[in-house]
Chains A and B, each alone.
Chain A
Amino acid sequence: MTDWLQHLPVLPVIVPLAVAAALIPVDERERTLKGSISFLSTVAVFVVAMILMRLSAAGEGALPGAGVYQLGNWPAPFGIVLVVDRLSALMLCLTSGLALAAQVYSMARWHTAGHHFHSLLQLLVAGINGAVLTGDLFNLFVFFEMMLAASYGLLLHGSGPLRVKAGLHYVAINLAASSLFLVGVSLIYGATGTLNMADLATKLPALAPESRMLVETGAAVLGIAFLVKSGMWPLSFWLPTAYAATTPPVAAIFAVLTKVGIYVIIRLGLLVFGTAAGASAGFGQSWLLAGGMATIAFGAIGVLASQAMGRLAGYSVLVSSGTLLAAIGLGHPEMIAGALFYLVSSTLTIAAFFLLIELVERGRDAAADVLAVTMEAFGDFDENEEEEEVGVAIPGTMAVLGLCFLVCAVLLSGLPPLSGFIAKFTLLHGLFDVPAAGQARTISAADWTYVALIILSGLAAMIAMNRIGIRTFWASIEGTVPRVVVIEITPVVVLLAACIFLSFQAGPAMRYMQATADDLLNPGGYSDRVLTAPRAGGQ
Chain B
Amino acid sequence: MELILSAGIGTLTASGVYLLLRPRTYQVVIGLSLLSYAVNLFIFGMGRLRVNAPPILEPGGVGDLARHTDPLAQALVLTAIVIGFAMTALFLVVLLASRGFTGTDHVDGREQRGD
A residues whose Cβ falls under 8 Å from a Cβ of B: 138, 142, 145, 149, 152, 156, 159-161, 164-165, 167-169, 171-172, 175-176, 178-179, 182-183, 185-187, 189-190, 195
Question: Using an 8 Å CB-CB cutoff, how does the interface string of B56-79 with A read, 1 for contact, 0 for none?
Answer: 000000000000000011001001
Contact status B39-A168, CB under 8 Å = no
Whether A168 contacts B32 in the complex (CB less than 8 A), given A138-B79, A142-B83, A190-B46, comes out as no
Contact status B28-A189, CB under 8 Å = no
Residues of B within 8 A of A186 (CB): 39, 42-43, 46, 73, 76
Contact status B90-A152, CB under 8 Å = yes
Residues of B within 8 A of A179 (CB): 32, 35-36, 38-39
In the complex, the chain A residue whose C-beta lies closest to that of B20 is: A176
Residues of A within 8 A of B15 (CB): none
Taking a contact as CB atoms closer than 8 A, the residue among B46, B48, B73, B101 that contacts A161 in the complex is B101
Residues of B within 8 A of A142 (CB): 79, 83
Contact status A161-B109, CB under 8 Å = yes
Whether A149 contacts B90 in the complex (CB less than 8 A), given A186-B76, A189-B46, comes out as yes
Contact status A175-B43, CB under 8 Å = no
Contact status B97-A164, CB under 8 Å = yes
Taking a contact as CB atoms closer than 8 A, the residue among A160, A171, A176, A187 that contacts B90 in the complex is A171
User: What is the minimal beta-carbon distance from B64 to any residue of chain A, in angstroms?
Assistant: 18
Residues of B within 8 A of A178 (CB): 83, 87
Contact status B32-A165, CB under 8 Å = no
User: What is the minimal beta-carbon distance from A61 to any residue of chain B, in angstroms?
Assistant: 33
Taking a contact as CB atoms closer than 8 A, the residue among B38, B73, B102, B109 that contacts A189 in the complex is B73
Is B80 located at the chain interface by the 8 A CB criterion? yes
Residues of B within 8 A of A175 (CB): 32, 36, 87, 91
Is B54 located at the chain interface by the 8 A CB criterion? no
User: What is the minimal beta-carbon distance from B11 to any residue of chain A, in angstroms?
Assistant: 16
Q: Would you list 21 pairs from A and B whose C-beta atoms are within 8 A, ordered by A residue?
A: A145-B87, A149-B86, A152-B90, A156-B97, A159-B97, A161-B109, A164-B97, A164-B98, A165-B101, A165-B108, A169-B107, A171-B91, A175-B32, A175-B91, A176-B32, A178-B83, A179-B38, A182-B43, A183-B42, A190-B47, A195-B72
Is B7 located at the chain interface by the 8 A CB criterion? no
Q: With the chains together, A165 CA to B98 CA distance in Å?
A: 6
Contact status B72-A189, CB under 8 Å = yes
Contact status B20-A168, CB under 8 Å = no
With A142-B83, A152-B90, A161-B101 given, can you name 12 additional A-B contacts, CB distance below 8 Å? A149-B87, A149-B90, A156-B94, A164-B101, A168-B94, A171-B87, A172-B107, A175-B32, A176-B20, A178-B83, A189-B46, A189-B73
Residues of A within 8 A of B32 (CB): 172, 175-176, 179
Whether A164 contacts B46 in the complex (CB less than 8 A), given A175-B32, A186-B73, comes out as no
In the complex, the chain A residue whose C-beta lies closest to that of B40 is: A182
B residues whose Cβ falls under 8 Å from a Cβ of A: 20, 25, 28, 32, 35-36, 38-39, 42-43, 45-48, 72-73, 76, 79-80, 83, 86-87, 90-91, 94-95, 97-98, 101-102, 107-109
Q: Number of contacts between A and B (CB, 8 Å)?
A: 82
User: What is the minimal beta-carbon distance from B43 to any residue of chain A, in angstroms?
Assistant: 4
Contact status B39-A183, CB under 8 Å = yes
Q: With the chains together, A138 CA to B95 CA distance in Å?
A: 29
Residues of B within 8 A of A152 (CB): 90, 94
User: What is the minimal beta-carbon distance from B10 to any residue of chain A, in angstroms?
Assistant: 13
In the complex, the chain A residue whose C-beta lies closest to that of B25 is: A168
Residues of A within 8 A of B72 (CB): 189, 195
Residues of B within 8 A of A167 (CB): 94
Residues of A within 8 A of B25 (CB): 168
Q: With the chains together, A302 CA to B14 CA distance in Å?
A: 34
Contact status B76-A138, CB under 8 Å = yes
The listed residue with most B CB atoms (<10 A of its CB), out of A149, A176, A178, A186, is A186
User: What is the minimal beta-carbon distance from B63 to any residue of chain A, in angstroms?
Assistant: 15
Residues of A within 8 A of B90 (CB): 149, 152, 171
Residues of A within 8 A of B47 (CB): 189-190
Q: With the chains together, A142 CA to B80 CA distance in Å?
A: 9
User: What is the minimal beta-carbon distance from A487 to any residue of chain B, in angstroms?
Assistant: 30
Q: With the chains together, A149 CA to B83 CA distance in Å?
A: 10
Contact status A182-B98, CB under 8 Å = no
Residues of A within 8 A of B48 (CB): 190
User: What is the minimal beta-carbon distance from B52 to any residue of chain A, in angstroms?
Assistant: 21
Q: With the chains together, A175 CA to B108 CA distance in Å?
A: 17
Q: With the chains together, A516 CA to B87 CA distance in Å?
A: 36
Contact status A182-B91, CB under 8 Å = no
Q: With the chains together, A360 CA to B80 CA distance in Å?
A: 44
User: What is the minimal beta-carbon distance from B72 to any residue of chain A, in angstroms?
Assistant: 7
Taking a contact as CB atoms closer than 8 A, the residue among B35, B83, B86, B102 that contacts A165 in the complex is B102
Whether A168 contacts B95 in the complex (CB less than 8 A), given A183-B39, A186-B76, comes out as yes
Q: With the chains together, A184 CA to B21 CA distance in Å?
A: 22
Residues of B within 8 A of A171 (CB): 87, 90-91, 94
Contact status A168-B83, CB under 8 Å = no
Q: With the chains together, A21 CA to B63 CA distance in Å?
A: 41
Residues of B within 8 A of A138 (CB): 76, 79
The listed residue with most B CB atoms (<10 A of its CB), out of A167, A182, A185, A187, is A182
Residues of A within 8 A of B102 (CB): 161, 165
Contact status A182-B39, CB under 8 Å = yes
User: What is the minimal beta-carbon distance from B34 to any residue of chain A, in angstroms?
Assistant: 10
Taking a contact as CB atoms closer than 8 A, the residue among B35, B79, B97 that contacts A176 in the complex is B35
Whether A165 contacts B79 in the complex (CB less than 8 A), given A149-B90, A152-B94, A183-B42, comes out as no
Residues of A within 8 A of B43 (CB): 182, 186
Q: With the chains together, A330 CA to B101 CA distance in Å?
A: 46
User: What is the minimal beta-carbon distance from A458 to any residue of chain B, in angstroms?
Assistant: 34
User: What is the minimal beta-carbon distance from A400 to any residue of chain B, in angstroms?
Assistant: 36
Residues of B within 8 A of A169 (CB): 107
